[in-house]
Amino acid sequence: MTRRSLLVAVVVMTALVFAAGRRSAGSVAGGVNPSIAYDGDVRGPDGREQYRFTIEVERVMFRLLAVQNRYSLVRLRMQNSTSAPLALSADKDRLELVVKGGAPVPAVLNLQRGDSAWWDSLDPGMRETLAYPVTLRGVPAPAGGEPQRSPESLYFYAFFPSSAARELPAGFAYTIASLGRTIRIEHRAAAAAN
């Protein structure tokens, strides 16, 4: 009897451990998160994260709102965990919105050239905010026992032609020329399933 109880306990414990390992998330009650999170990262040869890219798309607002009736706006967060700054270039980099069964939609990263009439009408402060960044600073390497610093981060806004970007994105493809590679920024659930 004692042995049997012990066996049952071990089986139950093992099942619980496996269940916890899966990290399934599910709220019993509460509101539905209206945003979809997309994630992508670049890892070094040692497997450590170097850069992280995060986009959150609000389902309703993405479908309904368009800047100047021309652009769907997406905010991207970039993090740099390396000690070197990451050079960015509006003319050489490329951010594409990937839709299921359709052609990717490139973002207009250089509005100064891409839509100069509207760009010129913005006030200087707004242009500063919306201009594609030129660099993402690095984190100085800790010296002499200093604690590791958290990654440097910045936000930028990407403008997708709303006529082409009507559907919720399946993901994003971000090419950074200075890195020489394309980063896939995907929906977290879809990325986990892959």
Partner 1 sequence: MLSNFWSALAKYLEKQPYWPAVQPFFLVAFAAVAFEVAAYQYVRARYGATTIPLFLGSYLSVRILVAAAALLLLMLLFRFNPQRQLPPVPGRVVAFFRAHRTAIVYRGLATLLVLVATGLVFLATSPGRARPITIRIMDLPADVASDALTYLVYELNRPQRQWYFEIDARPFNELALTSVERDACAKDEQPLLCHTERTADAQGPLIAITSRPLNGVYFATHRGLASVITTADAASYAPLTNYEYLAYLIVIQSMLIQLDAHGGRPADAFEPRTMASGGAFEFVPGRDMLKATMLAPRLSPEQEALIFNRFGPSYLRVCSDLLSLDWLYTARTKQNLKLFGVTLSR
| Residues that bind partner 1 in the complex, under the rule CB under 8 A | 90, 110, 112-113, 116, 119-120, 124-125, 127-128, 131-135, 137, 140, 143
Nearer to partner 1, 46 or 128 (CB): 128
Nearer to partner 1, 103 or 143 (CB): 143
CB of 99 to partner 1, least distance (A): 27
Nearer to partner 1, 30 or 144 (CB): 144
Contact between 139 and 82 under an 8 Å Cβ cutoff? The reply is yes
Do you know the residue count of the chain? 194
Euclidean distance between CA atoms 159 and 130, whole angstroms: 9
CB of 154 to partner 1, least distance (A): 9
Within 10 angstroms of residue 95's Cβ, the number of other Cβ atoms is: 27
Contact between 51 and 41 under an 8 Å Cβ cutoff? The reply is yes
Nearer to partner 1, 35 or 135 (CB): 135
CB of 122 to partner 1, least distance (A): 8
Q: Strand 94-98 vs strand 86-87: parallel, antiparallel, or unpaired?
A: unpaired
